[in-house]
Structures are given as structure tokens and as C-alpha cells.
Structure 1
Amino acid sequence: MSRIWITGYRSYELGIFTKNDLKLKIIKQIIKQKINQYEENGLEWVISGGNLGIEQWTGEVVKEIQKENQETNIKNAVILPFENFGKSWNDENKNSFLNLINSADFKISTSQSEYKSPIQFKNYQSFMLNHTDKALMIYDSEHKGKSEYDLNRIMEYNKINPQYDYEIIDFYELQELADELQYKEY
């Protein structure tokens, strides 16, 4: 496996609105653990979108890994569903998005026009599935969110292409990590 698509909840779906939220620390820690684990198995590219939340935090984690380990082969690609993605966001979110884009090793939009229709999102999903070897999602089926569309598409793709693997990190796994981190602090 050399390319992984990482996606999941938007920040507001998790109730995370500040950079110092403990939930964010746990989410970034599990993303980092998974990337490091996958790198041992040949991972080279972490590919995600530009959505606020899991996708942008994934980009931050990759940059952190690159700074901490000059020997890493991990690179970060940001793939967007259309041009001017995020243009209606507030200034703080736009700045966060620009930081992500500017720090990416590769960036492209699957549609060369601005948003026109939902088909751009379907084309984006197809691109991601056809250009990655595996998907990692932070998602819990008991707590619906926008990334459910990605999960459904990933599962459909997996039925047709069983070699395409996916992993889901749910809230129980996040809670286990939180408990483990808390235990280590005491």
C-alpha cells in the first residue's frame, strides 16, 4: 500500500472549535499512529481533501511527521472537488485552508470549475478511490455526519473491488486512546 485516503468528520460535527481541544489532540494522535504504522508497510502518500476537521488535521499531522523525521518518505496530497473550494468560509477557516494548501506536497482539483453540481463530489470520490490503495475514516455509524456519503461510496467500491481496503476508527477506539493517554499522564 503506497497511497491512503484519510477522511471523516468535519470539525463542527465533533464540536471542536479550538486548536487546544483535548478531542483534537486524541484525533491527531490516532491519525499519527496509523500513518506511522502504514509507513512501515510502504505508505508514501497521504491523500485527503480540504474539509475542516479530519481532512485538514490529517495534513497538519503529515507536516508534523515530516518535521520530526527527516528520513520519512511520507508526502501529503490535497485533492479538492472543485476550484475555489472553501471560498465562502470565514477568514479563520480560510486561513487554515490556505495553510493546508501551502504546506501540501501536491494539490489539485478534480474539477477545473467552481461548484456547479453534486456530480463534482461523486467525481471527487471516484478519483480518490481510483488513486488510493486504502481508505481510513474517523466515523461512527451511531453518529451520522456528512462523511457518511464517502463511507457509503467506499463500501460500494470495496464490494466491486475487494482488494481495496478500508478501516474505520469509531468513537470507541478514540475513547480507548483517550483513556490510555490519561492513564499515562497519571
Structure 2
Amino acid sequence: MRFCFITGHRPNRFKFPENDPRCDKIKSAIRSEIIRLYEQDGIRGVWVGGAAGVDTWAAEIVLELQQQKQYHDLELHVAIPFTEFGDTFAPQQKERYQRILKECADSVVVCKSYRQDAYKRRDYYMVDRSVCGITVYDLDKSIRSGTGMTYNYAALKKKLPVTVIHPDTDSIIK
């Protein structure tokens, strides 16, 4: 099975809340890119990391697409950084996370307990099992983030094609 990883910032890194129309545009761009990769590149599996924000949005999009006949074989896989991940989520996010775990094809806990590099290990785990990626990220900003490190690992070190969706403009860079 050919996999794609999807990553991006958590909600606090965006200039707007999830119910803002700009967020809807980002979600639409993620959805369009998943469909393109499914139809043109034979992607049938999607890895997400389970975090709030882009990971959750992408997971919910994949689960929604699975309900359509033409995408019934699209699978969602969740890489969980450590066992206790999600325990401190706010109630609404915890509910979304639990639903995603319940409905995904597979979930993998990368580290048994929290460690300083657990998130990095989770991100690299997804990249190492993918043939391409989608990231919601601003390539022009030099902020230190897991999204940036994951993009650099995938695009520069592993030489994977990574579609970048700009978080402020929802423009797609390939």
C-alpha cells in the first residue's frame, strides 16, 4: 500500500480559529490534495500524528472520504508519539481524538512513554513509511517547529515529494 503523511501546525499557530472561513479553505486544500494523490498517485493510506489542528482536520477528512464509494479503500493510520498522548487534551479535542482512534484502520504507539524526542520519532516514523507528504506550513518563516523539521526530513533528506499548503493563503506549492 502506498502511504502519504500529513502534518501541520496546531491551532495556536494559526492566525484564526477553526471556525474561520480561512480554516475551511485550508481543509478544502487538504481534501483536494488527498483526492489528487489518491487518483493520480495511487495513495491508499494516510498517516497522521493525532495532534490538534492539521492532524485532526486531515484525519476527519480521510474518515469522511471513506464514506464515499469511490474512496472506500482509503485508510487512515495514526502514529501516536507516546502512550499517554491525548490525556491532557481539552474535552472536545479528546472526543475528536478518541473518535479518530476508534475509526482508523490502525494506530501505532511509537514510544512507550514520554521522552524528549517522542514527537520527532513519531514524525519520522510517518515519513519513513510514506512515498509523499502534505504539510500546512509557511516555508518563508524560520520558526522552529515539528512541522518544519518534518518537512525538512521528508523533502531534503528523504527526497520525498511534499505538497505545501500555505497556512495564511491556502495556496498550494509543489
TM-score of the aligned structures, taking structure 1 as reference length: 0.80
Give RMSD over aligned pairs: 2.1
Contact 2:79 2:108 in 1 (8 A): yes
Letter in 1 for 2:24: K
Please give the per-residue CA displacement for 1:71-121, whole angstroms capped at 9, x wherever unaligned: 32211111111112121122122112112211212111111x221x22323
> C-alpha distance in 2, partners of 1:129/1:139?
16
Please give the per-residue CA displacement for 1:4-23, whole angstroms capped at 9, x wherever unaligned: 000011112114444x3212
Residue 147 (structure 2) pairs with residue 151 (structure 1): no
Matched-pair identity in %: 21
Cα distance change, pair 13–171 in 1 and its aligned pair in 2 (3 A): closer
Cα distance change, pair 52–16 in 1 and its aligned pair in 2 (3 A): farther
CA shift at 1:171, angstroms? Answer: 4.1
Cα distance change, pair 16–76 in 1 and its aligned pair in 2 (3 A): farther
Contact 2:124 2:150 in 1 (8 A): no
> C-alpha distance in 2, partners of 1:9/1:66?
24
Letter in 2 for 1:60: E
TM-score of the aligned structures, taking structure 2 as reference length: 0.85
Count of paired positions? 168
> C-alpha distance in 1, partners of 2:168/2:89?
31
Q: Which residue is 1:2 aligned to?
A: 2
Contact 1:9 1:145 in 2 (8 A): no
Q: Describe the SS at the equivalent of 2:23.
A: helix
Gaps of 5+ in 2: none
> C-alpha distance in 2, partners of 1:175/1:125?
23
Q: Describe the SS at the equivalent of 1:81.
A: strand
CA shift at 1:48, angstroms? Answer: 0.7
Which structure features the higher share of strand residues? 2
Q: Describe the SS at the equivalent of 2:70.
A: coil
Gaps of 5+ in 1: 177-186
> C-alpha distance in 1, partners of 2:104/2:74?
11
